A and B are shown apart, each in its own frame.
Chain A
Amino acid sequence: MSELEWGLPVVAKYLYGGLSAGAFVTYYLWQGFGLPTFRPTAKLAWISAAVFGLVIPIPIFGHLGQPGRWGNLLTSFHWTSPMSWAAPILIAYLIVLLLNGRFFFYDDVVLAYRQAHGIRKKALRLLLITKPPVGPVPESSRLGLRVTGALAFVLVLFFGYSGLELGLIPSKPLWANAINPLMFLLTGVVSGMAFVLLLWLALEGRPRARPNPPETVLLRSILLPALIGLFLALNAVSYVFLAYSPPEVQPAVLLLATGELGVLFLGIGLGLGAIAPMALLTANAVLETPRKWILAVSAILALVGAFAQKYGFLVAGQYYEAPAGGTFPTVWPTAGQVVEFLAILALVYLLFVVALWISPWRKVTPVPEPAAAPKEVAA
């Protein structure tokens, strides 16, 4: 008996990858596609994408048996292993994303740098990369913003490789599904968008105030419920596939439907985590005055749902295929894995606190420079 080969750390890797991808897509809806609905959340979305992007490697290192050999991933790229794509995709994504942020936040960072002191000033200087200008703030490079944004968006589309990792294993009939990459990408976008909306509500939501016109447009957006609906539709398609799969898949499906993972996957993952937020957000879109709390509750449910879906799917797929004809003692994570997961969660919180403290995510108002002292007229 041994613990599951791919457990909570792998779920965390998928989760943070999805959150980063989803947050970036939310940002790019405004920055790249010019969708004004998501303008209020653009800065917070970029910050979320960067923080989650930086966190992705941590659970990967936690999962590897030999994390010190991670460099082998860089020197062994080949197309036949989707896991081999991870290193170049993630590194390129992070570099392009950080560059994109430099162009996106340039004006605000320069202004904030001028007003900051101490550690924050030094941190903002690092974010600027180039020497801060004196006098009027020059306009940031539009070409740089567009090119890096488009590149990062293309790289985000490759995040579906995580679904492909599972999808091309024929010996695991629950996982072996051609639409997995799309479903993983979709749950990632849903969870990332839900997180950004939740963060926006927490920081700028003004819970007791009536929503102003831009807030109303955002609260009424049907993009998130539509994406959840598409995810549910793809789920239905995959169940049709499963119905025609070899009979070996039945124990795994039953484990998710009525077995030990039924409450987690079917109840929390699909019921509370997908159907409920889709219904709530759709209702919010048609209300005369959309409610912020409905969006908040829906976002929390979607986030919890994304975790439950990923955990259930990953565990059920391998549970009946233990090495050497053995069995796994439990479908649940070990205490050590839970502690590691919570530690990474705490690190995410800390990184967000630091990122929100350093970055000028609110519009920076230029402070007029003090007038020069009049020159003394020589007597």
Chain B
Amino acid sequence: MPQRPTPEGSKSEGMTRRELLRGGLLIAAGSATAGLLLAERASADGDGHVRYYDSFPHRSAMEHRWAMVVDLRRCVGCRACTVACKSENNVPGGVFRTWVRFAEVGTYPDTRPRFLPAFCNHCDIPPCVPVCPVLATYKRDDGLVLIDYDQCIGCGYCIQACPYGARFFNPVQRTADKCTLCAHRLESGQMPACVSTCIGGALTIGDMNDPQSGVSKLLARYPTGTLKPELGTDPMFFYIGLDGRLLEEVGP
């Protein structure tokens, strides 16, 4: 392309316009591509965590897969699990990692109280993971869905994406927060605080891929249901005694 003639006396000693344009466009393109390269590095750091929607392995491909069976016939609604969880994990006031929903089921006077303990479902296809803009939330190779609290920016996208209302904004650490299934206790061979404290023995945790585990035996013996199966998240919390009337009463 022929050089445009520069009027006499207008030649500058600094950057030329061509250099300016080239430099600016390089910076603009660089800001986009640098992000791509850095993200590639972040996702390939060999920590065994899965952060992308299209790469979640099915639970059968995992060596261990933690799962919980909640026997609603045994739940008395004492909320000991809620309290134990808050105590174990230092959960601030006003927010909950574990909670129990209550409903009067039936028609007066023929009614009875029903309870629905609720947690993070540690889904096989967790909708909270792919939306995290900073890759702070991830699925571990044993199926637990966790949050890297040092990476989280507290944007709240995962909170919106969770169909179970299991995530919340922690007002003290100012990040997203949720049930970790007491990963720290599982790693040291202990049960999660909610399971240990459940007075009715309604909660059973175990390795779903181990046919001898309590979870596998319960799943083989009883019909179970999961919450919002229509969303395709494949939750790892299975409920015995879950029925439509209870779900209708407790709401979304």
* Closest A residue, CB atoms, query B100: A325
Residues B169 and A65 in contact, CB atoms below 8 Å apart: yes
Asked if B39 CB lies within 8 Å of chain A CBs, one says: yes
What's the Cα separation between A96 and B4 when bound, in Å?
A: 23
Asked if A134 CB lies within 8 Å of chain B CBs, one says: yes
Q: Which of A321-340 contact B (CB under 8 A)?
A: 321-326
Asked if A148 meets B99 with Cβ closer than 8 Å, knowing A134-B9, A165-B157, the reply is no
Asked if A69 meets B151 with Cβ closer than 8 Å, knowing A135-B7, A139-B4, the reply is yes
Contact partner of B21 among A89, A148, A320, A326, CB < 8 A? A148
Asked if A123 CB lies within 8 Å of chain B CBs, one says: no
Bitwise, A156-190 to B at CB < 8 A (1) or not (0) is 00000000010011111000000000000000000
* A-chain residues with CB within 8 Å of residue B154 when the two chains form the complex: 64-66
* A-chain residues with CB within 8 Å of residue B169 when the two chains form the complex: 2, 5, 65
The smallest C-beta distance from A134 to any residue of chain B, in angstroms, reads 5
* A-chain residues with CB within 8 Å of residue B231 when the two chains form the complex: 170-171
Residues A81 and B20 in contact, CB atoms below 8 Å apart: no
Bitwise, A69-89 to B at CB < 8 A (1) or not (0) is 110111111101101101111
What's the Cα separation between A246 and B229 when bound, in Å?
A: 13
The smallest C-beta distance from B162 to any residue of chain A, in angstroms, reads 7
Residues A322 and B165 in contact, CB atoms below 8 Å apart: yes
The smallest C-beta distance from A81 to any residue of chain B, in angstroms, reads 5
Most buried by A among B7, B8, B28: B28
What's the Cα separation between A15 and B231 when bound, in Å?
A: 31
Asked if A95 CB lies within 8 Å of chain B CBs, one says: yes
Asked if B62 CB lies within 8 Å of chain A CBs, one says: no
Asked if A359 CB lies within 8 Å of chain B CBs, one says: no
Residues A86 and B7 in contact, CB atoms below 8 Å apart: no
Asked if B60 CB lies within 8 Å of chain A CBs, one says: no
Residues B157 and A2 in contact, CB atoms below 8 Å apart: no
What's the Cα separation between A377 and B202 when bound, in Å?
A: 111
Residues B25 and A248 in contact, CB atoms below 8 Å apart: no
Counted as pairs of residues, one from A and one from B, with CB atoms less than 8 Å apart, the total is: 208
* A-chain residues with CB within 8 Å of residue B131 when the two chains form the complex: 80-81, 83, 168-169
The smallest C-beta distance from A326 to any residue of chain B, in angstroms, reads 8
Residues B130 and A80 in contact, CB atoms below 8 Å apart: yes
What's the Cα separation between A141 and B21 when bound, in Å?
A: 9
Bitwise, A113-132 to B at CB < 8 A (1) or not (0) is 00000000000000001111
Asked if A248 meets B252 with Cβ closer than 8 Å, knowing A130-B16, A130-B17, A144-B17, the reply is yes
Residues B132 and A81 in contact, CB atoms below 8 Å apart: yes
* A-chain residues with CB within 8 Å of residue B101 when the two chains form the complex: 325
* B-chain residues with CB within 8 Å of residue A84 when the two chains form the complex: 39, 133-134
Asked if A318 CB lies within 8 Å of chain B CBs, one says: yes
Asked if A137 CB lies within 8 Å of chain B CBs, one says: yes
Residues A78 and B39 in contact, CB atoms below 8 Å apart: yes
Bitwise, A100-122 to B at CB < 8 A (1) or not (0) is 00110000000000000000000
* Closest B residue, CB atoms, query A84: B133
The smallest C-beta distance from B13 to any residue of chain A, in angstroms, reads 6
The smallest C-beta distance from A75 to any residue of chain B, in angstroms, reads 4
A-B contacts, 7 of them at CB < 8 A, read: A69-B134, A76-B39, A80-B131, A96-B25, A102-B20, A135-B10, A172-B160
With A1-B94, A170-B127 given, can you name 9 additional A-B contacts, CB distance below 8 Å?
A5-B156, A64-B153, A84-B134, A130-B16, A135-B7, A135-B10, A144-B17, A321-B160, A324-B96
